[in-house]
Structure 1
């Protein structure tokens, strides 16, 4: 759960997740939406993959990134258990 919240703590990564929630994309397509370097986008994608919030699949010359909503939902659900009345 900690890796999920670390990944969500950055506004660029949250914006990447918003984009991927609309469509699967390549790193190049994601890059076009930001004013940062390609290596920085790659680093953000690596962090999102490590947290399992994003999956990647090689298709020909490209790597396609997809959001993994079940991990996001599980992380948020687990977080909400801290606020349940006992």
Structure 2
């Protein structure tokens, strides 16, 4: 697992907001941009960082790129963190 990329991606509030927005299901980049008061290029950069960290995946369909939350990376990070605090305390 790439913890450095994961925690870097999670350290930014905009990227955390993007992950929250993607919880219900996949969205196009344009739909994500419409949820923020920043440029499309800014959101594109945030999406790239999230993708590099494995937190989102993208699928091209026609002229649109759909982004989707990848919960397995978050689950791996949570398991690692739970291991640090001990199995009894994580429950």
- Shorter-chain TM-score: which interval? over 0.9
Deviations 1:35-54 (A, max 9, x none): 11100000000000000000
1:44 counterpart residue number? 46
Runs of 4+ off more than 4 Å: none
1:67 counterpart residue number? 69
Q: TM-score with structure 2 length normalisation? A: 0.89
Query: Cα RMSD over matched residues?
Result: 1.1
1:32 counterpart residue number? 34
* Unaligned stretches of 5+ residues in structure 2: none
**Count of matched residue positions in the alignment of Structure 1 and Structure 2:** 85
* Unaligned stretches of 5+ residues in structure 1: none
Shift of 1:79: 2.0
Q: Secondary structure in 1 aligned to 2:23? A: helix
